Amino acid sequence: MLKLENVQVSIGKKRILEDVTMHVAKEEIVAFIGHNGAGKSTTLGAVLGTHRIQNGTIELNNKALTNLSTTDIVREGIGLVPQLNNVFRNLSVEENLELGSVVNQGENGAFTIEKVYEIFPILRERKKQLVGTMSGGQRQMVAIGIGLMSNPSYLLLDEPSVGIQPNLVDKVMETIVKVNKEFGISILIVEQNIKKVLEIADRVYVMSRGSIIKEFVPGTINSEELWQLM
Ligand SMILES: Nc1ncnc2c1ncn2[C@@H]1O[C@H](COP(=O)(O)OP(=O)(O)OP(=O)(O)O)[C@@H](O)[C@H]1O
Ligand SMILES: [Mg+2]
Q: Which of 32, 41, 191 to mutate to test the pocket of ligand 1 (most atoms within 8 A of CB)?
A: 41
Ligand 1 and 136: CB distance under 6 A: no
Ligand 1 and 34: CB distance under 6 A: yes
Ligand 1 and 38: CB distance under 6 A: yes
Residue 93, pLDDT score: 96
pTM for the model: 0.92
Residue 56 Cα to ligand 1 middle (Å): 19
Residue 80 Cα to ligand 1 middle (Å): 17
Residue 107, pLDDT score: 56
Ligand 1: atom nearest CA of 39 is: 18
pLDDT, tens digit, for every residue of 5-17? 999 999 999 999 9
Residue 105, pLDDT score: 59
Long-range CB contact pairs, 131-137, < 8 A, 24+: 131/87, 131/88, 131/89, 131/90, 131/91, 131/92, 131/93, 131/96, 132/89, 132/90, 134/93, 135/164, 135/165, 136/163, 136/164, 136/165, 136/168, 137/164, 137/165, 137/168, 137/171, 137/172
pLDDT, tens digit, for every residue of 94-148? 999 988 887 765 555 568 899 999 989 999 999 999 999 998 889 999 999 999 9
Q: Residue ranges of the chain with pLDDT lower than 70?
A: 104-110
Burial class (CB in 10 A: 0-12, 13-18, 19+), 94: buried
